[in-house]
Structure 1
Amino acid sequence: MPFNSIEFAIFLPIIFVLYWFVAQQKLWLQNSLLLIASYFFYGWWDYRFLGLLFLSSSVDFSVGLLLGKTKEQTQRRVLLLVSIFVNLGLLAVFKYYNFFAESFVTAFTLLGRDFKIEHLDIVLPVGISFYTFQTLSYTIDVYKRKITPTHDPISFFAFVSFFPQLVAGPIERASHLLPQFSKKRIFEYHKGVDGLRQILWGLFKKVVIADNCALLADQVFDNYTEMSGSLLVLGAVFFAFQIYGDFSGYSDIAIGTARLFGFDLMQNFNSPYFSRDVAEFWRRWHISLTSWFKDYVYLPLGGNRVVKVQQIFNVFIVFLISGLWHGSNWNFIFWGFINALFFIPLLLLQKNRNHLNKIAENRFLPSFKEALQISCTFGLIVLGWIFFRSPSVNVALGYIQGILSPTLWDFPYLLFNILGKVKPLLLLIFWVVEWIGRDQNFALQQIDRVKSRKLRWGIYLLLIGTISLYKGEPQDFIYFQF
């Protein structure tokens, strides 16, 4: 049930009314309602997916209870391995089996051997990478004794399947989200209003920005051999806006929806395209996944506590795994690889923690140096997105070769044929609003500063009208495939 669908527009207010007006008096009833609603929400795509969600939740709830009772370290390791094996095993079968099978066959073919492996005709469950990592964080943290295991199955199953962030994050930690299911929740008006604002801004990002940018990006990438170098550049830039509007828009709707039910989810995007280097970008982009890899992969490998060679190896491991997490294709792995290459010089020069302060702090406009840093960083990120968007590494390399052709300096007339004259203006306005709200949890949060109630409502109605008038061809959320 996508957030940008009529079905969700009907589903959300029904659950909201039942939650606050029927189930409010009893915590277990609220959690039970959320659990039922979440399974209904997820089963809307395919009811068969519910079995995997239930299995993963059951295994980790049971492992958590056993870890709480077991003191012997060997037994605790075995229990943790059971959780890891089941969760990553399901992920491997449903998401990666065919990819590794094809790669294995290709390797043997190159060696002159004829080798065949049967493919599995299976559907990738929506959001499996997200809820797998979320529930894994619970058993790992219980194993490390960072949190105590819960004995409440309803709370735990609701935590794993919480519908606002089930399909595409943020990937919440049990230490942050699970305790919120154990506390009585009372409706707070300001939280509800703030949640609605974030939902509205997320819909604007998705429907107006992402779906319209997809028109140009899809046409350029699908016909890149026929396009001029200048249009190929614009295609890559518009895909950068598309994926940001699409994914951060989803996160805004998820976080805003959770706030309607009294929950606080972590911020998942923090003005990433205003980053001054690649290291800062990865602290601001898909924050929940970046921090997950840092805590559960990078630091256990030694992090920055080891020699430089080992640090470089650790960085490559994290980025390669991150690329593989995004998709079972070599282009995603290569995308992770080149981002590691962008990151390594900062690590070697000890500049990967340079930009921890706010962007253009206490100033409306960035300095010349900051503007140059932001532009260069954005250029590197866009280069990486070419590999992310392309169906293969060869296509990505061909796309870049097309950019470097003499037609790079041709005027991209096709841009106006696809987008017209108004929508690029909307993109510019969007970019300005994002810049003004760069220090907020989401750009529209700053509307609190507007004292005039009429002006605030005028902005809301303008956004709603723009969404209705300039909605593009409906597109699936990009991260549903992960």
Structure 2
Amino acid sequence: MLFNSIEFLLFLPAVFFLYWLILKKIELQNGLILIASYVFYGWWDWRFLSLILLSTIVDYTLALRLKKNKNNLQRKYLLWTSIIFNIGLLGYFKYYNFFIDNWIQLWATFDIKMHESSLNIILPVGISFYTFQTLSYTIDVYRNKLEPTKNFIAFASFVSFFPQLVAGPIERASNLLPQFFIKRKFEYQLAKSGIKLILWGMFKKIVIADNCAIYANDIFSNYNELSGVTLILGAIYFSFQIYCDFSGYSDIAIGTARLFGFKLMRNFNYPYFSRDIAEFWRRWHISLSTWFRDYLYIPLGGSKGSKFQQIRNVFVIFLVSGFWHGANWTFVVWGGLNALFFLPLLLTNNNRKNLNITSENKLFPSIKELGQIVFTFTLTTLAWVFFRSETITDALNYLRLVFSNETFLKLNYLSTIERFSFEIIFLLPILLIYEWFYRKEETPFNGKFQLINETIILLLLLVFGIYSNYSNFIYFQF
């Protein structure tokens, strides 16, 4: 079920009404959340509900056994059972065909023909998110940082919590699970802030991302025929498409959770105002970045040890992050590029430099800060070309045409004008102005001129929502 669909528009009020007005006991509310979450997820394909249920049962059982078992070796076996199961589940559905196809291609380079054995495996929506969520639960129990729960309904509700089930934020059990045991009372201010987040998220998705997608898809599909200026436009369109699409989903998820009395972690913090790549990754997909930090980067040694070890750890974290996004070498290259961009900051010990808000207590950025923001956005956009392209060859050709003098100067005015979206040129400044002046707030509805801002956003939503095709969110494929 899509957040930006008529079905969800009917589903959400119905669940909200039952939750607060009919079911007063916490056990009944948890049960409703579990049922609603399974309905929400099963809307795509009910068969994949068995995977969520299986993952839930396995980690629920292993966590209880981890708590009871005091033998260190046996506890390690239990932990590795959880790791192998979750990564194996993810690997089979997400990466099986990728590895088989690459194995066949490898032998083909030696003129050895291997039997085609790829299967038509459908990728379950959100599997990368809920497997990481349950995996972190068993790891935290193993580390004695978390008490396992005996309440299966509460745990199953935590795993399948519908607001953030499909595309995050990837919640830690230490934050979300205890909230299923606290008696919840309707809080007007919390619900109000939730509605504001939903509204802002819908604006970013329907008004910005979906409009950028039309032109970005067209340009990336026909890049061989277009001028360098048009290709630059395409890369910028996609940069804002993926940001507004994904952060829009996160805002809607966090806002929806608040309607039911739950508080989820923030997943985006105005990343395109970052002054370096390190700051960008502290502000982009925060739940995934911190997950890899806590469960992979720090166990590898983190920033301790020699420079070689630090560089190794950085490349591991970025390459794995890239591969997490999808079974394609383009994602691995995207991760590798971000590691390369991060490397100068690490070598000069400047990776923890920009921790405060950009231009804090200033109306406008300084020339230096503006240059840093533009440079960081340029690097990020360059990497997004690999993320968006179908193959590495496509990405390299795309960039070659951008930087080719002949292509750049060969302005095909007709094709450029056709892909020069006046709506987006009008809308992007609105987005950037709002985000800049309210960068200390969650949304533009929390500061000054709330009523004016709400009216503008609602009008834009109504205008563009009429023509929306209710397209999927990008991160559904991950």
Bin of the TM-score, shorter chain as denominator length? over 0.9
1:182-331 equivalent positions in 2, closer than 5 A: 182-331=181-330
The aligned counterpart of 1:83 is 82
Q: Distance in 1 between matches of 2:444 and 2:129?
A: 26
1:45-444 equivalent positions in 2, closer than 5 A: 45-406=44-405, 407-409=407-409, 410=411, 414=415, 416-418=417-419, 420-440=421-441, 442-444=442-444
Contact 1:203 1:467 in 2 (8 A): yes
Structure 2 SS opposite 1:353: coil
Q: Distance in 1 between matches of 2:37 and 2:414?
A: 46
1:466 lines up with 2:452 in the alignment:
no
Q: Distance in 1 between matches of 2:99 and 2:440?
A: 43
- Report which stretch shifted further, 124-133 or 467-476: 467-476
Alpha-carbon distance change, 415 to 21 in structure 1, aligned in 2, over 3 angstroms: farther
* Superposed displacement of residue 457, structure 1: 4.2
* Structure 2 residue identity aligned to 1:426: L
Contact 1:230 1:412 in 2 (8 A): no
Q: Distance in 2 between matches of 1:339 and 1:412?
A: 34
Q: Distance in 1 between matches of 2:113 and 2:319?
A: 29
Q: Distance in 2 between matches of 1:179 and 1:150?
A: 9
Give structure 1 regions of 4+ aligned residues with deviation exceeding 6 angstroms: none
* Superposed displacement of residue 424, structure 1: 1.6
Contact 2:444 2:453 in 1 (8 A): no
* Superposed displacement of residue 103, structure 1: 0.8
Q: Structure 2: which 5+ runs fail to align?
A: none
* Superposed displacement of residue 422, structure 1: 3.9
Q: Distance in 2 between matches of 1:299 and 1:5?
A: 40
* Superposed displacement of residue 105, structure 1: 1.0
Structure 1 SS opposite 2:132: helix
The aligned counterpart of 2:12 is 12
Alpha-carbon distance change, 344 to 64 in structure 1, aligned in 2, over 3 angstroms: same
The aligned counterpart of 1:480 is 476
- Report which stretch shifted further, 221-230 or 306-315: 306-315
Contact 1:247 1:478 in 2 (8 A): yes
Alpha-carbon distance change, 166 to 299 in structure 1, aligned in 2, over 3 angstroms: same
Q: 1:369-424: per-residue Cα shift (whole Å, max 9, x none)?
A: 10000000000000000000000100000000110122324486645534653442
* Structure 1 residue identity aligned to 2:455: L
Q: 1:227-259: per-residue Cα shift (whole Å, max 9, x none)?
A: 100110010001000000100000000000000
Q: 1:247-290: per-residue Cα shift (whole Å, max 9, x none)?
A: 00000000000000000000000010000000110000000000
Q: Distance in 2 between matches of 1:256 and 1:265?
A: 9
Identity of aligned residues (%): 55
* Superposed displacement of residue 226, structure 1: 0.4
Alpha-carbon distance change, 114 to 423 in structure 1, aligned in 2, over 3 angstroms: closer
Q: TM-score, length-normalised on structure 2?
A: 0.97
Structure 1 SS opposite 2:168: coil
Q: Distance in 1 between matches of 2:173 and 2:362?
A: 38
Q: Distance in 2 between matches of 1:17 and 1:415?
A: 50
Q: Structure 1: which 5+ runs fail to align?
A: 451-455
